Amino acid sequence: VGGHWCYRSQKCELPQCEDPPLWHQINAACRGDRQSPVNIVTRNVTRDRSLAPLTFEGYDAKGSAKWDLENNGHTVKVTLNGSPKVGGGGLPRKYKAVEFHLHWGIPQQPDNFPGSEHSIDGEKYPMELHLVHIREDVSDVAEAKKTPDGLAVLAFFVKADEENKNYTPLLSELENIKYKGNSVQVDPLPLSSLLPPEDELGRFYRYEGSLTTPDCYEGVIWTVFEKPIELSRSQVS
């Protein structure tokens, strides 16, 4: 089914687009029973003491291939060209990282219009980072969607706090991708440098859901971390 989707915050700029309540008109899966994002109600969470820590492979490596930083009209997406992997933590297999992107609200008013997709007890954060992984035995996201447990996404809330200089190389390039379709190549960074310290990633929420935008594919293993990434208020906006 054809159609152009957008976020609600984009509706005033793109009045002909379909915002979230109408996404099912673009793809019927968007009305599925395992749709993401979700509001995590902590009193209903079941603690699973059998979950081992996640294991990160290659997250500390800088890599040699450039990253592609792109404005796709909905968000800023960074396509990775290395081979970092994640496993353990109750995941059924190892997954390789292929891209990450950010979700934000109205940058000038992050407190009034927060942009995180997931929420904790109804509370949202200014931003949310999604690190998308696919099974290590498939070649791309399209192939991953055809296999069981094909995708695993690591989600990190972003809060306004201290400046995070590790993000400076990426944020400084945003001026160069102001418009949809703009892209630049940037030097790779260790993925771990963009995340909270590994020893603070032991607490997370796990559920099976979907991609959060059309085609709303269901078959995504979500790991939503309790510890947020910290950026300064100016970096967030």
Does domain 32-236 fall under CATH 3.40.605.10? My reply is: no
The one catalytic residue in 4, 24, 74, 103 is 74
Give catalytic status of residue 133 as yes or no. no
Length of the chain: 237
Instruction: Name which of 14, 40, 50, 84 is nearest 223 in CA terms.
Output: 40
pLDDT tens track for 13-64: 445 555 555 656 666 678 877 889 999 999 999 999 888 889 999 999 998 8
Q: Give the span between the Cα atoms of 197 and 187, in whole angstroms.
A: 22
For residues 153 and 131, the answer to whether their CB atoms sit within 8 Å is yes
Number of helical (H) and strand (E) elements in the chain, helices listed first: 3, 12
Single out the residue of 212, 220, 215, 176 nearest to residue 7, CA to CA. Answer: 212
pTM summary value:
0.88
Of the candidates 209, 212, 204, the residue with the CA atom closest to the CA atom of residue 75: 212
Strands 218-232 and 151-161, sheet pairing: parallel
pLDDT digits (tens, 9 = 90+) for 66-94: 999 999 887 899 999 878 999 999 999 99
* Domain parsing of the chain, residue ranges: 32-236
Dihedral of alpha carbons 219, 225, 226, 229, sign: negative
